[in-house]
Chains A and B, each alone.
Chain A
Amino acid sequence: MKDDNKQKRVVDIKPAKNGGSSFYSDIVKEHFFHPKNFMEDESGYVADGQGMVGSPACGDVMRVWIKVDPQTKRIKDLKWKTFGCASAIAATSMMSVMVTEKGGMTLEGARALRPQDITERLHGLPIRKIHCSVLGDKALRSAINDYYRRNGETEKIEIESGRIIDKVLKITDHDIEEAVLDGAVSLEDVQRKTKVGTGDSSCIPEVEQLIRFYREKYFGAE
């Protein structure tokens, strides 16, 4: 019998060497402290399209400018401005990198970008911060539509897939459906994922109805 078997289960409780600063990943911090591609000076910038979502009252506003190569329909440049917390700023910054890297995404490719793709590249966000990152791609799609509008390609304008429920945040019934599929059961859950209704509370009754509808649709009557 060796005594050192007894030593195995000793667990030290002591402060983390890195000071416990693990709330955000290193990549989030990098993009937050050193944001890429943000709009330094609007006055000299000629954009081919621009879009904006959010309101200061709900804590997040994102504005996006894009330049598009008319031949390849690739996004050559993307600039942004964000009012919001660390996750919001980091998510918009990362989105700008993803859209413009490797010669730039095509407009169609950029339109398919989802918040989950951005979060993944950021090595995740704390759960209660996910909702801060979901607006950047909406601002981008809004800018893409603006580009088509300016170029007379109105047939290519795509309204947010689904019907817009929250006009301020441009949240659609599809977003609510996704949230319910993702496990949300109450208005609070859906708000935690989408912030729906924080800028325009008049849509809340409809949101609640949709939550009931999708819960019944996917999980059966209660």
Chain B
Amino acid sequence: MKRQINQKTKSMIHGQKALRGVARDTRRTSIYMDYAATTPVDQKVIETMMPFFNTHYGNPSSLHAPGQIASGVLMQARESIATHLNAHADEMIFCSGGTESDNLAIIGVINSSKAELYKKFGKNILPHVITSAIEHPAVLEPLLKLKYQGLIKLTQIKPSSNGIVSVKDIQDAITNQTVLITIMYANNEIGTIQPIAEIGKAILKYRKQNNTVYPYFHTDACQAAEYLDLNVEKLHVDLLTLNGGKIYGPKGIGLLFVRRGIKIEPQILGGGQERRLRSGTENVPGIIGLAKALDLSQNRRERESKRLIKLRDKLIEGLLKIEKSRLNGDRNARLPNNVNISFMDIEGEAAMLYLDAKGIYCSTGSACASTSLDPSHVILALGMSYEAAHGSLRFTLGRSTTMSDVNYVIKIMPEIVQRLRKISPISLDMTRF
């Protein structure tokens, strides 16, 4: 992998002419610090998947021997994942990724709740959903669409300035029409970890006191799965989303844990696979890859977390030495691999591309790097200015990250910030942030 990326930077700076100034000496370095975007697939995962492409390629729905072999390994994969979630094998619904899993949870719950809601309150009632202002677009977009179509009432809880939502704010927002609460386990941009277990407990208490099955509780755990405990009994969640591409597994495979007894309406209809909740021939190699990846991740998560926290803290400390910089998100209640810092007076995409030319790969919350005109909704929700959001950089560490990588970034970053500030006409007053 390293060699390939070297070639990329080499050609990116297009020949000798560019080998001056900041873009110099880029050819030997390749530091991937964008693991929250996606991870490489673990070699062991690839090896586990391989036989299921062309040796055991049967359709698990077929009753003949090849089909039953596939069906058998599918069951093993379900059981393996269920063990890590402290759940039952029949509670695993496989789908195409985190986005589909979130959509299925949200639309599936809302649609299936209507019968019960109408019975109680009559036909003029709208299902109420509670979420946070810092969710992933896979959660926010379907919710906002339903809201604008006038099909649901939506409450978006703002986090505190450190990027953590308060249990009490959520509790206070619950009404007898609330059918779903969906709060991410850990944020993809700033890495903050939400108090899922406490929220879950509060919801259980509400249901008990009011003798109701609603609201259901869903969490998107895609970013959390590599580092945090996924025990659904401890988290008190009814629905949980996972995917392969963030945990050194394959892309294009996702999972929705649906607790027994929870009612959801399927969104994709067909052959009735996945307990009729998600039709379509199962992606057998993908599911096996996801199961293997999760197994590897969960078994090493404590050791790996400890290792990365050291690197993360070193990187935060080193980058905050740069003048006019600020950490986004809580200092401690954040994922072991997440560093998100705003550098004032410079624009994130420009900084990201200068880092790219130096062989350091990260991402930014600037509007210029996205398809919309607005910068990161997460950083804005912290109460930070547009300027801070435009100047934010996210470095997410992973299994290949070493202390020398971190030191290299700490060494390179000041000159890039300095160079971009030199051509920047603005100089913001830090007391405003």
Is B404 in contact with chain A by the CB < 8 A criterion?
no
Stretch from B61-69, B164-172, B329-337, B417-425 contacting the other chain: B417-425
| Across-interface contacts of B430 in A (CB, < 8 A) | none
Q: Provide the bound-state CA to CA distance between A197 and B366, in Å.
A: 17
A29, A38, A59: the one within 8 Å of B13 (CB): A29
Interface band, chain A:
35 or more
Question: A33 to B22, Cβ gap below 8 A?
Answer: yes
Q: Knowing A82-B425, A83-B425, A89-B423, say if A128 contacts B371 (CB, 8 Å).
A: yes
Given A82-B423, A83-B345, A83-B426, also A59-B375 (CB < 8 A)? yes
Question: B5, B368, B423: which contacts A85 (Cβ < 8 A)?
Answer: B368
For A58, the chain B residues whose CB sits under 8 A away are 373, 386
With both beta carbons as reference points, the residue of chain B lying nearest to A198 in the complex is identified as B373
Give the segment of B85-93, B271-279, B350-358 that binds chain A.
Answer: B350-358
- CB-based contact A21/B8 at 8 Å: yes
B422 touches A40 (CB 8 A): yes
Does A44 sit at the interface, judged by CB under 8 A? no
What is the chain B residue whose CB lies nearest that of A139? B425
Smallest CB separation, B315 vs chain A (Å): 24
B side interface size, CB within 8 A: 42
Q: Is the interface of A mostly helix, strand, loop or mixed?
A: mixed
Residue of B7, B20, B22, B387 near A57 (CB, 8 A) is B387
Q: What's the Cα separation between A40 and B345 when bound, in Å?
A: 16
Report chain B residues within 8 Å CB of A30.
14, 17-18
A17 within 8 A of B: yes
Partner of B373, one of A18, A38, A61, A192: A192
- Which residues of chain B (213-239) have a CB below 8 Å from chain A? none
Interface residue B349 (Cβ < 8 Å from any Cβ of A): yes
When the two chains form their complex, are residues B350 and A86 in contact, meaning their CB atoms are under 8 A apart? yes
Whether A34 is near chain B, meaning CB under 8 Å from some CB there, is yes
- Residues of B within 8 Å of A89, CB to CB, are 350, 423
Q: In whole angstroms, what is the CA distance A200 to B5 when docked?
A: 41
Give the distance in Å from the alpha carbon of A58 to the alpha carbon of B373 in the complex: 8
Cα of A119 to Cα of B357 in the assembled complex, Å: 23
Interface residue B178 (Cβ < 8 Å from any Cβ of A): no
Q: Distance in Å from the Cβ of A41 to the closest Cβ of chain B? A: 10
Decide: B353 and A34 in contact? CB cutoff 8 A: no
B353–A61 CB distance below 8 A: no
How far does the alpha carbon of A15 sit from the alpha carbon of B367 in the complex, in Å? 28
Residue B262 is within 8 A (CB to CB) of chain A in the complex: no
With A57-B386, A89-B350, A132-B368 in contact, is A33–B425 under 8 Å at CB?
no
- A19, A21, A129: the one contacting B368 at CB < 8 Å is A129
Task: Tell me, yes or no, whether B11 is within 8 Å of chain A by CB.
Answer: yes
Interchain residue pairs A-B with the least CB separation, the first 9: A19-B8, A85-B368, A81-B425, A63-B425, A85-B349, A57-B386, A18-B11, A21-B12, A56-B387
Contact residues of A with B, CB < 8 Å?
15, 17-21, 26, 29-30, 32-35, 38-40, 52, 56-63, 81-89, 128-129, 131-132, 191-192, 195, 198
